[in-house]
Amino acid sequence: MAKDIEAAPPGGGYAAKDYSDPPPAPLFDAEELTKWSLYRAVIAEFVATLLFLYITVATVIGYKHQADPAGPNAADAACSGVGILGIAWAFGGMIFVLVYCTAGVSGGHINPAVTFGLFLARKVSLVRALLYIIAQCLGAICGVGLVKGFQSAFYVRYGGGANELSSGYSTGTGLAAEIIGTFVLVYTVFSATDPKRSARDSHVPVSMIKQVSGYSLPVLM
């Protein structure tokens, strides 16, 4: 196994590590419930997830409306709308902006899978993980609710912008794609937030926009 060392100093020997592994988070920390920073982080997760779902779902519904062969743009359906690439950039771009804005407040999870993974790795406590997941689910519901409120007819017509299996693919294939995509997402988060890497080149938002945009393309297609 490789040692955590840098280049040897002129006098010989090993250089000290330029990073330190954070201690594992406690499973339950009652004192954490008395800190405003926890609730500020929960609010940040709620707002970030709300904005993420609102923008991305609205983008998908707008694309489906513009590309609808039975819609008013039927003649230009093949080349109208933002396209699949635009949807991928909407997902990746929103993740980039939201992680950049909330990383210093809540860690920028914006996904229950990320929070659960970080909890299993003892990077967040059980209390924080539960509050984050609740806030993320409520934020997602409110974000989609805003889309439905502003575009009720289109929301119902296009199934709320939800993913659908393309012809020729089974439910099992779709499930496998979601599992693989979630694994890649969480793996990217762990890799980008690794303390050894963060000490040298902290580019978490850049890593996330590449991963989310890149994976969105094959899934959408």
Residue 203 pLDDT level (bands cut at 50, 70, 90): low
Query: What is the Cα–Cα distance from 57 to 65, expressed in whole angstroms?
Result: 12
Fold of 30-220: Glycerol uptake facilitator protein (1.20.1080)
Is-contact 148 155, C-beta < 8 A? yes
Confidence of residue 39 (pLDDT cuts 50, 70, 90): very high
Average pLDDT over residues 151-178: 85
* Mean pLDDT computed over 206-221: 48
Band (pLDDT 50/70/90 cuts) for residue 23 is confident
Q: Which of 102, 96, 101 is nearest to 56 (CA)?
A: 96
Average pLDDT over residues 39-64: 93
**CA dist., res. 216 & res. 200, Å (int):** 28
Reported pTM: 0.76
Dist. CA 107–CA 44, nearest whole Å: 9
Residue 48 CB burial class (10 angstroms; 0-12, 13-18, ≥19): buried
Average pLDDT over residues 120-130: 92
Query: What does the domain layout of the chain look like in residue ranges?
Result: 30-220
How does residue 190 score in pLDDT terms, banded at 50, 70 and 90?
confident
Q: What is the mean pLDDT of residues 204-215?
A: 49
Output the average pLDDT for the chain.
Answer: 79
